Copies of this chain bind each other. A is one copy, B any other.
Amino acid sequence: MRYSDTHKAETHDRLLQIAGRMLREKGPQNLAVGELMKEAGLTHGGFYAHFKSKDALLIEALERVFAGGRNKFERATEGMPPRHALGAYVDFYVSTRHRDGIANGCPVTALTSDSPRQSKKFRAAFDAGVKRLVGALAARIGEARIQTEDSQTLAASILSAMAGAVAISRAVSDKRLSDEMLEAARESIKARLGVTDADLAKEKFPRSVRSEVLQ
């Protein structure tokens, strides 16, 4: 069938979007090409007209997921003072909502223990995503003048703490333990950044909106 010029690109993009969800939900190994195509309303054979291999799909999907996360972060915190942006991000990231929505969550948390078993190219895409995320956090930390240490270093340790907490909170089955892990991490991170609710109350920017914005 001959479709419009944009049709293939649209299908390609739709495949990436679905793959991004499946990737985080099922992991790289359990994302099956056939299932992906079925979810897109297509049959398995057409896959190789879009991607040269499953690995190529995984890499493109991962990049897209990282990019989507950055966009969401930027959109949700634009106009906010840096401290509030940081507070909002930590509140979003280290939350039961993020924990319960793997399919739409941060790939760092969703895929940490899978990545070491993936191809070098996949891990390189992971690198890029992590670097940009650390960079984005470090930028806000710098602007906020949280000068206890180098902002890049602080950003890196904050990201580890956030990702570790959410990952563990998903890994356990006991809901109470899971909630406790999240809360412990969230409060300690916000304290380190000086963005607890008490800290932010001293500033004038209205806080009420933000919990809605970040998915």
Contact = CB atoms under 8 A, between A and B. Distances in A.
A162 B161 CA distance: 7
Interface in A107-135: 108-117, 120, 123-124, 126-127, 130-131
A162 to B, nearest CB: 7
A156 B127 contact: no
13 contacts: A111-B171, A114-B171, A115-B171, A120-B173, A126-B172, A127-B177, A130-B181, A160-B168, A160-B184, A161-B185, A162-B164, A164-B165, A192-B192
As for how many copies of this chain the complex holds, the number is 2
Interface SS of chain A: helix, strand, loop or mixed? helix
Interface stretch (A24-32, A41-49, A72-80, A84-92): A24-32
A159 interface: yes
Interface string A176-201: 01001101110111001000000000
A177 B115 CA distance: 15
Given A26-B117, A161-B157, A164-B162, A173 B127 contact: yes
A163 interface: yes
Contact of A156 (B26, B27, B111, B184): B184
Contacts of A160: 161, 164-165, 168, 181, 184-185
Contact of A30 (B29, B177, B185): B29
Given A162-B164, A172-B127, A113 B116 contact: no
Interface of A: 26-27, 29-30, 102, 108-117, 120, 123-124, 126-127, 130-131, 149, 152-154, 156-157, 159-165, 167-168, 170-174, 177, 180-181, 183-185, 187-189, 192
A181 B111 CA distance: 17
Contact of A184 (B111, B113, B157, B170): B157
Highest count of chain B CB atoms <10 Å: which of A102, A164, A167: A164
A32 B164 CA distance: 27
A167 B163 contact: yes
Contact of A117 (B27, B126, B163, B185): B27
A111 B108 contact: no
